[in-house]
Amino acid sequence: MSDDPKTLVSAAWLAQHLKDPDLRILDGSWYLPSAGRDAKAEYAAAHIPGARFFDIDDISDHRSDLPHMAPPVEKFMSRLRAMGVGDGHQIVVYDGAGLFSAARVWWMFRLMGQENVAVLDGGLPKWQSQGHAVDDMPPVIRDRHMTVRLQNHLVRDVTQVSAASKLQDHVIVDARAALRFRGEAPEPREGMRVGHIPGARNVPYTDLLNKDQTMKTPDACRAIFEAAGVDLNKPIITSCGSGVTATVLTLALERMGHHQWSLYDGSWTEWGMFPTVPVATGEA
């Protein structure tokens, strides 16, 4: 793969830059309850040297009933300052699954106007499989100011997605597994309808990954989107269960050179609970 410090970098690239003074590494691991994994405990036991833990559930909007919605600007700035992450830093985010929740952290930085941020391709498993070191040392933190310029066009709410579904002026692309998209498998959260947003297309995020959880090439990803009936000439809104795996699609789109994207932050957790919006089932 070609390393790009604004989207995706390899374990070899990170190993080469590990001692750079302005590099900041974040462990953005987050797991569904069904995974039975404790992201914080795993970070404490072993992480890439110098990494800070980025808590997706904590650095979120606690005023919302929905899980880990994007945080207010002030909260993001204060949390990142406390982590010693700010202006002038090159940020690399990884997770313990390979390529799963790290993309959510990447998207959050982009939402806040920060562009020098990349996801580690293949995450911690790839890093360790290549023989690179991990440790359990807490990082040395020095305060660093971060300038935030909120990019509102990178996020969508239920009203905007409902309009896009009706007008078909955007393509809504759902990253959930095909059975959930078609309404043939139950949702992991109780009280939620099954199915998908009318007019949406289905690109399960796992389709974009290789067996080692690295991302497929931009050309291979483009072919997958096109095979799913996604019109790449239109702006795209990505969606999933709760706004995490949709960002894997977003990251792939950015690498493909498709920059007209946004994320439906509430995703199916909101749409599936919202009584007045329609639901479709079956194939797209």
In the chain, what is the greatest distance between 2 CA atoms, to the nearest angstrom? 53
The answer to whether 118 touches 266, Cβ cutoff 8 Å, is no
The rounded distance, in Å, linking the Cα atoms of 214 and 122 is 4
Q: What is the CA radius of gyration of the chain?
A: 18
d(CA 118, CA 93): 6
Return the closest-CA partner of residue 56 out of 68, 73, 72.
68
Q: What's the rounded Cα separation, in Å, for the pair 241 and 189?
A: 9
Place of tokens 């950015």: 254
78-92 burial: b if 16+ Cβ within 10 Å, else e = ebbeebebbeebbbb
Q: Is 240 a catalytic residue?
A: yes
- How many C-beta atoms surround the C-beta of residue 253 within 10 A? 24
**Contact call for residues 26 and 100 (beta carbons, < 8 A):** no
- Dig out the tokens for 58 from the structure: 């904590």
Helix ranges (H only) for 18-72 are 39-45
- Locus of tokens 């002026």: 169
Choosing from 14, 161, 240, 248, the catalytic residue is: 240
**H helices of 122-217, where?**
123-129, 158-167, 178-182
Task: Give, for 239, the enclosing helix (H) or strand (E).
Answer: strand 236-239
Catalytic (active-site) positions: 240
